[in-house]
A and B are shown apart, each in its own frame.
Chain A
């Protein structure tokens, strides 16, 4: 199997060979739920950070006991996976008050004793100096608690090393995104997404090595220009390739995104010169913001327009999971402003589990017909 094929696999969490190896060697795994949790802290403490996802979740019967039909299916699917014992490999769980639904997983996860070690990091809802200071304290407290509870070290040097490792990933993924900006696209959006999602399921050093090799492979691939439209996808968290595959199955080519597990997480660099904790908190705090950050709409709009133009997209699909208020409002605002800027945009509602695919296909197809008609 080539490196590229390996990165396309994105193994399911219960059959993940990397985690089995890691645990087999006495390693411990810490889950985290949100892109505002600096993974470097966990990594520097010698633990394996694992971004919680619900890939492959098909039902929410167990989760529905705790969460209601008005809760977003992403939160419910994560809970379902937890309650189905599919996260039993976790040694700890770090949540964040990213949105009001995911944050409540804390209490339920705790009540069900799913993970012995639970922690909550909180971050203010807007970006300003005092907010940064609060967030820095939160990260510092997390580091202290983590190291004492797991009896591990996390020195300044460890942190500096982790920052370098993670910056390397970000640099490589940005390279991958660069390759998709050409007319003959060497890698589809769903393939690229698989590569990106793989970053969260294996030790980062291994990933970086695989990604370096994979990038060579991508470069030597023949490009594809027989697509109906170049697309950017934004909106709610996307943790599996199905949605992208559906869109590309209709003839679209996804060449850019503004997703929290995608470009937004890698489109930043943590300073390697400053105090590592300061550098980490600052970089994560001011990065391209999630819609839960207030007073940042204009920067989100600019980020989307810039990304759309840089990848020469023909249209933008803003998908949102039903009952996600953050993306519902932001997406509607963005759609109006993107259209005004001459970028065709479609807001598309979906569940986390890709049901109702006929309707989604019709929308995507009609959207591309709309673009073609211009």
Chain B
């Protein structure tokens, strides 16, 4: 059994990195990376924070996370389709609010 404290630390770092990327990144696909990284951080937290039963992690949060992984890939696929369509319509791969604050899409 791994040192769970270390993985809680990793979850905190990854969540911070994800939030930072979500704010700072301009390309929508990078924002998607950031959202997925945040999601993974929360998945780690959910599994490690549950008290183990008989030495193995609690199956209930694991089942929740398994559902979460599939939902995450569904949402990512939808977001990617939105991004491709946005680019086809406008030629942009970033949100317009981001452009106003930081110049044209580089």
Do A and B interact with each other, yes or no? no
Query: What is A's interface to B at a CB cutoff of 8 Å?
Result: none
